[in-house]
Amino acid sequence: MLILHRPPSIAGVLLLSLLWLAGRPVVAQDNVTVPKSRLEELERKEKELERLKGDLDKTKGDLDKTKGDLDKTKDENLQLKKENEKAVLRPVEPPSAPPAVTFVSPPLESLPAFQPYETVESMDLANYYHADTSAADRRFRKQKLTVRGEIVGFEKPLYKRTYRVLLKTPMRETKVICDFLPPENANAVFTTNHGDELVALMGQTRVPIAKVGQTAIVKGECKGRSESAVMILAWDLKFAQ
């Protein structure tokens, strides 16, 4: 049997050529070679991306912590505000009054007849004038006496040479004030140490006269009551040891 081979047609040859050319890019793409420098750059960028991701996670954690701290502070401020509001609404209690000082003097009618320069405590003298001014005047007014008491303050009246020594009394309503002339050769009399000391200026020298807290023994004449004070015209000042 005779078999005849037909030569390929031109169309067939072209088709085969096109199919071969179409398959080449696929093969070439599988065999692409990446340069080392490009690979290193890609690795470096990957590491940088991982670092940035870590920083982002850390920043997020810090933000969450800060938010938690702010929420806690907000809660504390709210609680403090509520406590302050309660404190404002709570009625303020007035301070307790200091205990009243009670000083009992011997009854005036029980005293023996008055003697010149008799010693009288300033506390008693104030009590007698506070209780009954007329009765106290009958016994003490215009009498020369000695008044003994603790110094509680000083006064220096304006435009007057005299200075005053205030003695302790049981109540504010009645004071005992001893009125003195300045010492001889004194240029001036004034208080120092925030009013706790009385001094006289002799030339350029300060001479102490008295201090608050000392127990004074004053000789003078009782001038009776003037408004809220029992006045003593005084001329001698000594101190108890």
Tens of pLDDT, residue by residue over 108-127, are 999 999 999 999 999 999 99
The pair of structure tokens assigned to 127 is: 């009590």
Residue 137 CA to its chain's centroid (Å) = 50
Residue 104 resides in a domain: no
Residue 107 resides in a domain: no
What percent of the chain has pLDDT above 70?
Answer: 79
Tens of pLDDT, residue by residue over 204-217, are 899 999 999 999 99
Number of domains in the chain: 1
The one-letter amino acid at 165:
V
pLDDT at 92 over 90: no
**Between vectors from CA 82 to CA 80 and to CA 86, what angle results, nearest 5°?**
115
Q: Give long-range contacts, CB 8 A cutoff, 24+ apart: 78-86.
A: none
Stated as kind and residue range, the H or E segment containing 82 is: helix 36-89
Residue 108 resides in a domain: no
> Taking residues 48-65, what's their average pLDDT?
79
Stated as kind and residue range, the H or E segment containing 199 is: strand 197-202
Residue 230 resides in a domain: yes
Q: How many angstroms separate the CA atoms of 48 and 155, rounded?
A: 87
Cα dihedral 115, 118, 123, 129 in deg (nearest 10): 30
Reduce the DSSP state of residue 183 to 3 states and report it.
Answer: coil
Which CATH number does the domain housing residue 155 bear? 2.40.50.140
pLDDT of residue 228: 92
Residue 183 resides in a domain: yes
Residue 121 resides in a domain: yes
Q: Phi, psi (5° rounding) for residue 234?
A: -105, 150
Residue 36 resides in a domain: no
Residue 40 resides in a domain: no
Tens of pLDDT, residue by residue over 142-189, are 999 999 999 999 999 888 889 999 999 999 889 999 999 999 889 999
Q: Look at residues 222, 235, 214, 211 and name the one whose alpha carbon lies nearest to residue 162.
A: 235
Show the domain range for 183. Answer: 114-239
> Taking residues 3-11, what's their average pLDDT?
53
